[in-house]
Structure 1
Amino acid sequence: MITNKQLEDMSKQNIETIDRKELADITAIHIRQDLPHNEKVLAFLEEIKNPYCFLCGDVPVRVCFSDNGPKFGQMLQDYFIRIKQG
């Protein structure tokens, strides 16, 4: 099981310097849908290895969050509105 300290350390890793061999490909992760929510989260964390740095195919991805930034849901809504408007 991943500890809070490990998650904190993972969140500080630099995508530019991390060994790509250490990164999991998110497109290859499959979580059983019959699991309870908590077990799905744990299974995802186990497979992704680092939820902050991973691959999506051949593309390295770095995820970060800001305490005082806009909410993710609002950003998605704004994004889809912009796409719809062309």
Structure 2
Amino acid sequence: MMITSSELEIMSQQNIETINRKELVDLSAIHIRQDLPHEEKILDFLERIKNPYCFLCGDIPVRVCFTDNGPKLSKTLENYFIRIKQG
């Protein structure tokens, strides 16, 4: 079953604090099939994760969000690793 853009929009607005934790899929349990073409890999992942904006990483609930004017992910990760290295 294909996820529609309106369903994705609704998922992107869900609050991680109020979502039923039993509905969240553990990202570590997702195995991406390497034999599929690129587009089918994405569709397969979306089908398995159920909500790409709210999921679990082990026991930790995660909510992913994006902004048009936020810092680039590469810069955010760079700053994060610099802080870790500096202690």
TM-score by length of 2: 0.89
Structure 1 residue 39: Cα displacement = 1.0
Runs of 4+ in 1 over 6 A off after TM superposition: none
SS state of the match for residue 56, structure 2? Answer: strand
The answer for the alignment partner of 2:76 in structure 1 is: 75
Equivalent residue letter for 1:16: E
Alignment partner, residue 30 of structure 2: 29
* 2:50 matches 1:49: yes
Deviation at 1:2, TM superposition (A): 0.7
Per-residue deviation, 1:69: 0.3
| SS, match of residue 60 in structure 1 | strand
What residue is the counterpart of 1:15 in the other structure? 16
Counterpart-to-counterpart distance in 1, 2:76 and 2:66: 12
Identity in percent:
76
What is the match of residue 5 of structure 1? 6
- What TM-score does the superposition give when structure 1 sets the normalisation length? 0.90
Query: Structure 1 CA distance, aligned partners of 2:72 and 2:38?
Result: 22
For structure 1, the residue ranges without an aligned partner over 5 or more in a row are none
Query: How far is the alpha carbon of 1:75 from its aligned partner?
Result: 1.3
Counterpart Cα distance in 1 of 2:86 and 2:34: 35
What residue ranges of structure 2 are gaps of 5+ in the alignment? none
RMSD: 1.2
